[in-house]
Homo-oligomer: A and B are copies of this chain.
Amino acid sequence: MPTPLHSLISEKLRHQILSNDYQAGQQLPSEHQLMAEFSVSRITVRRAIANLVTQGLVVVHQGKGAFVADRQKVTYSLSSPLIFLEDDMARQGIKFSMQTLLFERVSVSDSVQQILQLPATQPQAYLQKKLLLLNGIPGCLDITYILPDLGHALSKKLKQQMTFPTLEQAGILIDRIEAILECTHADAEASQYLDVPLGHALITYRHTAYATDNRPIVHGESISRGDRFCYAVNVFRNPVGHNSQMGVRAQHAVPQRSDI
């Protein structure tokens, strides 16, 4: 058996989807119909459809059916200092809103203590969890730690709006952000808030923001659905104009393991 039946079926459907035989939003044949069409058992049909789901081409709704997924993506732009997310979204014709899920002072892990340079004797910070809604649909789960003095002083504003605009309004300028972009998979929490199955592909932006005095003030991660979001970056020869020689470049960002 060179190629499994379920692959043959999912590949055939895949090509039909990619060549727009089935358009975005359109319903695929039911499992029963596919069983008859390909003369296979239900479990094989289900596996074929599961293949397409993991490839982000199909979404299924219990009791309704399987539908071709919308593969359009919303772009976050990292070219600006991430302060203008709302404007960025407006430019793409998307209404932006947010909901604070949690805001409280907590003791942090060793790695967060080191990243934010908190005193080892009292390694505390404010932990924020925010859910970003795009056109009313949950799109991004934002989990960040912020220095305790800032979290305390700005608590009211921080609960209502995004972190970076709040800091800017308070006169605290973010000079630079060190970030890692990576693929991750939905755990129970992300699965719940972002309305995806466990294990669904996500794109995670893990970052540390530094104020103009080079002090780290915010550390956290923004977790978005991998099938609906992407990041735009502009890379320049001389990132800040500090060094005009070739070969000199910004400090290497160290990959940080997550224990957020």
Contacts and interface: CB of A to CB of B under 8 A. Distances in A.
Given A73-B255, A80-B249, A237-B174, A232 B54 contact: no
Contact of A175 (B77, B198, B237, B255): B237
A91 interface: yes
Contact of A253 (B183, B234, B250): B234
B81 A235 contact: yes
A151 interface: no
What 10 pairs across the A-B complex have the smallest Cβ distances? A183-B226, A182-B230, A232-B253, A241-B241, A80-B249, A79-B250, A54-B199, A177-B235, A55-B185, A55-B199
A56 interface: yes
B201 A77 contact: no
A162 interface: no
Interface string A119-152: 0000000000000000000000000000000000
B233 A253 contact: yes
A163 to B, nearest CB: 14
A59 to B, nearest CB: 14
A13 interface: no
A227 B201 CA distance: 11
Given A185-B54, A201-B185, A227-B183, A175 B80 contact: no
Interface string A223-254: 00011011111111111110000110111110
A227 B230 CA distance: 17
Given A88-B252, A178-B232, A238-B240, 5 more contacts: A79-B239, A79-B252, A80-B249, A181-B230, A230-B255
Q: How many subunits of this chain does the assembly comprise? A: 2
Interface residues of A, number: 60
Given A7-B198, A51-B198, A84-B249, A233 B79 contact: no
Contacts of A56: 185
A254 to B, nearest CB: 8
A75 interface: yes
A179 B255 contact: no
A122 to B, nearest CB: 27
Nearest to A225: B183
Interface string A187-219: 010000000001101110000000000000000
Nearest to A76: B181
